[in-house]
């Protein structure tokens, strides 16, 4: 089966560059889109052609479905890869692609819609015997209903936006007197962020690890898992460091969580690449959290330990090719780690846009840098502050950490502030080195990491 002749990348930054590189290795031509302020962006330079689709504001460019579909038609692109962020998890965009006769490189619109409805996804998992955190069976319609559920499962609880993500529309409730206020605060935030105010309830588990599993699924319902990632180092629900595999787990645990991920994907009739996210509590119990219906920012750590190019697999699956991998074919080697380098003040985390006067990425054995930055490039203030991902691979976790330290020491970025100093402090923290951390690590160790 022949793959696509041309793919349009409906994104920008490092993920757009990453997709262009995968397409080039598959002998597929690429079309880039860009806003008026990004005519000198690296993804524009690397693509076979580039089309300006609007002003700097995302709503008028990278979120403009009509303009993106028009760009695909003008460039004779047969498929669109959405990357992550922007329209990647928008079912209307996936539907618009299909209606226009363009292949959407990703899951089905139904998969995306269900992935965005976290309350409904919980219901499906529960019906299929996949453990979920104790909580509501679906949407909680009002604060009175919320209080009834809370009295059954006990405080503390988490109010969560059903369409949520990135920590928005979430509130921890520790006492009965706060339930009404927190309910309305979470609802307003959810409405503002996602246009939907639906909330559901989960028991709040303060001491947890965030473990996720990468899956690949063909149109024939053949599904494999590519191992797990530990994404527990977070700041305000935003991941900062990711590792693969989960270094502090037995092979029995890894097999179990991988099989749970496949079971969850089958329950959703999932297609293409996706990530099943789990919570691991202090007792060793695993609970389904959500499914991410797109390529993840942290996908490179999985690629490093498996040797599998996930972007290429996405493209092949979208073109209708059968899954070329069986579970027994997938081998895991060594340990990989990723640091997300943001253009931010490393102490106050305020965005630091501006011109990069010098940019010298690290190299050497086991070091990979995914970036769209270069010397002279102006980091725009309009978009996400991620400018580079440093990914390393070592024989074990200890070597990966030492290699990451070395890589960050080598990384020269001048003209703007970055989070590199912040990452270096984490990588020297004794508790991090021992694996004594969870999603509350940065909040509890604030004095160490500032």
Q: Average pLDDT in the 184-196 region?
A: 88
Q: How confident is the model at residue 207 (pLDDT cuts 50, 70, 90)?
A: confident
22 and 142 share one domain: no
Lowest-pLDDT choice from 23-27, 219-223, 276-280: 219-223
pLDDT, tens only, 105-126: 999 999 999 999 988 999 999 9
Q: How confident is the model at residue 308 (pLDDT cuts 50, 70, 90)?
A: very high
Domain C-terminal end among 65, 86, 105: 105
pLDDT, tens only, 148-159: 999 999 999 999
Would residue 116 count as lying in a domain? no
Q: Which two tokens stand for residue 321?
A: 């090719």
Q: How confident is the model at residue 450 (pLDDT cuts 50, 70, 90)?
A: very low
Would residue 117 count as lying in a domain? no
Q: Average pLDDT in the 284-308 region?
A: 96
52 and 174 share one domain: no
Domain C-terminal end among 157, 187, 203: 203
Q: Which pLDDT belongs to residue 82? A: 98
Kindly report the CATH number assigned to the domain that includes residue 189: 3.30.1490.20
> What residues are labeled active site?
294
Q: Which two tokens stand for residue 68?
A: 């993106």
330 and 222 share one domain: yes
Radius of gyration of the chain from Cα atoms?
21
Average pLDDT, the chain: 95
Domain C-terminal end among 53, 85, 105: 105
Rounded CA separation 16/371 (Å): 9
Under 8 Å between Cβ of 132 and 288 = yes
Rounded CA separation 321/219 (Å): 8
| Region at 22 (left for phi over 0; alpha for psi -120 to 50; beta for the rest) | alpha
pLDDT, tens only, 45-62: 999 999 999 999 999 999
Number of structural domains (the chain) is 3
191 and 242 share one domain: no
- In the chain, pLDDT over 90 holds for what percent of residues? 86
Domain that holds residue 434: 208-444
pLDDT, tens only, 71-98: 999 999 999 999 999 999 999 999 999 9
257 and 395 share one domain: yes
Kindly report the CATH number assigned to the domain that includes residue 91: 3.40.50.20
């Amino acid at each position: 089966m022949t793959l696509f002749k041309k793919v349009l990348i409906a994104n920008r930054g490092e993920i757009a560059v990453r997709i262009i590189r995968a397409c080039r290795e598959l002998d597929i031509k690429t079309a880039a889109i860009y806003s008026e302020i990004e005519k000198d962006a690296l993804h524009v330079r690397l693509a076979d052609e580039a089309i300006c689709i609007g002003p700097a504001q995302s709503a008028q460019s990278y979120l403009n479905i009509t303009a993106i579909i028009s760009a695909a038609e003008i460039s004779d692109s047969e498929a669109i890869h959405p990357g992550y962020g922007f329209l990647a998890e928008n079912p209307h965009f996936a539907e618009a692609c299909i209606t226009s006769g363009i292949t959407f490189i990703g899951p089905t619109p139904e998969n995306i819609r269900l992935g965005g409805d976290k309350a409904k996804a919980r219901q499906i998992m529960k019906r299929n015997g996949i453990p979920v955190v104790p909580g509501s069976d679906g949407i909680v319609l009002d604060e009175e209903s919320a209080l009834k559920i809370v009295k059954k499962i006990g405080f503390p609880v988490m109010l969560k936006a059903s369409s949520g993500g990135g920590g928005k529309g979430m509130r921890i409730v520790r006492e009965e007197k706060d339930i009404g206020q927190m309910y309305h605060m979470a609802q307003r935030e959810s409405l503002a962020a996602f246009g939907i105010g639906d909330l559901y309830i989960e028991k709040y588990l303060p001491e947890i690890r965030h473990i996720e599993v990468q899956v690949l699924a063909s149109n024939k319902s053949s599904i494999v898992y590519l191992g797990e990632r530990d994404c527990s180092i977070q700041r305000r629900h935003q991941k900062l460091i990711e590792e693969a595999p989960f270094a502090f787990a037995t092979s029995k645990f890894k097999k179990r969580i991988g099989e749970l991920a496949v079971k969850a994907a089958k329950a959703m009739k999932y297609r293409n690449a996706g990530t099943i996210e789990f919570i691991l509590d202090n007792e060793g119990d695993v609970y389904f959290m959500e499914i991410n219906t797109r390529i993840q920012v942290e996908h490179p750590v999985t690629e490093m330990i498996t040797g599998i190019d996930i972007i290429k697999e996405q493209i092949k699956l979208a073109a209708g090719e059968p899954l070329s991998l069986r579970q027994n074919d997938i081998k895991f080697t060594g340990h990989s780690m990723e640091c997300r380098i943001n253009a931010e003040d490393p102490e106050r985390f305020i965005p630091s846009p501006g011109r990069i006067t010098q940019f010298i990425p690290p190299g050497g054995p086991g070091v990979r840098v995914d970036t769209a930055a270069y010397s002279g490039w102006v980091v725009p203030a309009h978009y996400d502050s991620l400018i580079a991902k440093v990914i390393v691979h070592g024989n074990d976790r200890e070597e990966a950490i030492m290699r990451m330290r070395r890589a960050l020491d080598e990384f020269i970025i001048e003209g703007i502030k970055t989070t590199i100093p912040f990452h270096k402090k984490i990588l020297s923290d004794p508790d991090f080195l021992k694996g004594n951390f969870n999603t509350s690590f940065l909040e509890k160790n604030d004095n160490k990491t500032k």
